[in-house]
Amino acid sequence: MILLPEEAYTVSAGPIVYALGQSQLSSFAGHAPIAWTLPRHFFEEEQNVQRVAMSIDWTEINSKLPTERTAEAKEKRRELFRAMDMGNGILSLAEVDKGIRDVLKIDEIFDAKPAIMRAFQIAKKRGASKRGDLGDDYIELNEFRFFLLSLRQYFEYYEAFSRTDESGDRRIDLVEFKNAQEMMEVWVGPIGDIEGEFAKIDTNGGGKILFDEFCTWAIAKNLDLEDDDDNIVLE
């Protein structure tokens, strides 16, 4: 059974130590929405899932993501990368997806497909590749740390998105957005003109906020969940 994190609200709060480094934020913000090329099952497996309330152990998730710049963390990343790779030295989306479940063993992130997709897409072209175009389509070892950082960050945004999307259809409509104003203000500060803000976020004018649009806003606003554990090296 797949658990969606939509209703996972009981989380222990940790000390707020960090926010994502500003340079990193601007590089996220400059990233245009992406057309995903993915196997259909990547989306289909999430339909008709039973939504069950569960809590997210952010501290445990952080501990599974070796993002530090220490030699020890570097070695851990190398091991993780090798365990996820089927043998050709580069990671595909399918390998990363499976690896999150079987190697990292973080079910909450495995269920957050849009977060995985965004982290993969942003990380795969991060570093210069000797493999040329092929390298730009896959995550290489020198991009893996950035991938883990992105994964943690987009998972947080996905959590925020899911809590706002009451109906669970992966779109935030104006009613949901208005209902969530108080909750969102804890994450991003005062919003003020709620309808104007909605229109600004809904950049394609479709009347719904999609996850990509939400991420652009979350990055610009430096969105920070009130109940996650920020004690992770993110720079």
d(CA 160, CA 58): 14
Quick check: 155 and 162 in contact, CB under 8 A?
no
Tell me if 167 contacts Ca ion by CB under 5 A. yes
Angle at alpha carbon of residue 227, lines to 224 and 233, rounded to 5°: 60
Tell me if 169 contacts Ca ion by CB under 5 A. yes
Whole-Å CA distances, 79 to 11, 54, 69, 89, 141 = 30, 30, 15, 12, 10
Interaction with Ca ion in 73-112: which residues (CB under 5 A)?
85-86, 88, 90
Provide, rounded to whole angstroms, the least separation between the CB of residue 139 and Ca ion: 6
Tell me if 159 contacts Ca ion by CB under 5 A. no
Tell me if 229 contacts Ca ion by CB under 5 A. no
Residue number of the CB atom closest to Ca ion: 167
Quick check: 156 and 221 in contact, CB under 8 A?
no
Q: Which one of 30-38, 96-104, 147-155, 159-167 is the stretch in contact with Ca ion (CB under 5 A)?
A: 159-167
Among residues 6, 97, 108, 140, the one that binds Ca ion under rule CB under 5 A:
140
d(CA 90, CA 12): 36
Q: Which residues contact 4 (CB under 8 A, 6 or more apart)?
A: 46, 49, 51, 52, 111, 162, 168
Tell me if 230 contacts Ca ion by CB under 5 A. yes
Q: Which one of 41-49, 61-69, 100-108, 119-127 is the stretch in contact with Ca ion (CB under 5 A)?
A: 119-127
Quick check: 116 and 151 in contact, CB under 8 A?
yes
Number of residues located near Ca ion, criterion CB under 5 A:
15
Tell me if 135 contacts Ca ion by CB under 5 A. yes
Question: What is the binding site for Ca ion (CB under 5 A)?
Answer: 85-86, 88, 90, 124, 129, 135, 140, 165, 167, 169, 171, 224, 228, 230
